[in-house]
Amino acid sequence: YLNDANGFHVKPEHVAHALDTATGGAIDEGSVGGGTGMITYEFKGGTGTASRIIAMKKGGPTVPTYAVGVLVQANCGRRPQLTVAGVPVGKEILENAPFSKESGSIIIVIATDAPLLPHQLKRLARRASLGLARTGSVSGNGSGDLFLAFSTANPGASDAAEPTRTVQTVPNDRMDALFTATVQATEEAILNALVDNQPMTGRDGHHVDALPHDRMRELLKKYNRAR
């Protein structure tokens, strides 16, 4: 709608340049990178991030802490579905919605330093759908949803110098805190992609409004979610 994806304007040299110039630190949000042409709940969407720090309860003197970070590329949802803190924001701001049916997809990447095994990471990735649902999405027929999760723990697990390797893992009975962090951070990352944005006019004069901050604040107050 906003971009000319079928024009194949991104060439191999652009990809190589992006990889060569990648740096650490805070990630820009909104209409940047792959999020430039994205539309979320029929407002301008794009890239969003959020994270949580978890202190794992333990009986001993030391309490291990782990981080869960979420990055989204949000390009999905119909306007009436948008929900913020339980408030039907989308139903209250129906004007200038450009689509007659759902179109697009969302990519959600979950990163953690908690030592998790592959089957546990699959469980973590599935929880992204709950955070997505808290913003109103029902993952409609035309929405291609992709959830990925990885852990940076156990860095030497693939070293073949020894015939066997020992790896650490969080017990399944202690994973609820990680699930909670994933759901919360996913919801927040999607909302950040909406809030940290501006209106955009793209190809063929197609225009998409940004989520109006003042209207959203008014609605949060109306429904007693903010003062």
Q: Quick check: 191 and 38 in contact, CB under 8 A?
A: no
Active-site residue, from 103, 129, 145, 209: 145
Give catalytic status of residue 145 as yes or no: yes
Q: Do 47 and 70 contact (CB within 8 A), yes or no?
A: no
8 Å CB contact between 62 and 192: no
Nearest to 182 by CA among 118, 115, 108: 108
Q: List the catalytic residue out of 51, 105, 129, 139.
A: 105
Three-class HEC string of 161-194: CCCCCCCCCCCHHHCHHHHHHHHHHHHHHHHHHH
The set of residues, in sequence order, having a beta carbon less than 8 Å from that of 93 and lying 6+ positions away, is 79, 211, 212, 215, 219
Find, among 130, 133, 103, 109, the residue nearest to 121 by Cα.
109
Report the C-alpha gap between 210 and 32 in whole angstroms.
Answer: 14
Dihedral pair phi/psi, residue 30, rounded to 5°: 90, -135
Active-site annotation holds for 20: no
Catalytic residue ranges = 105, 143, 145
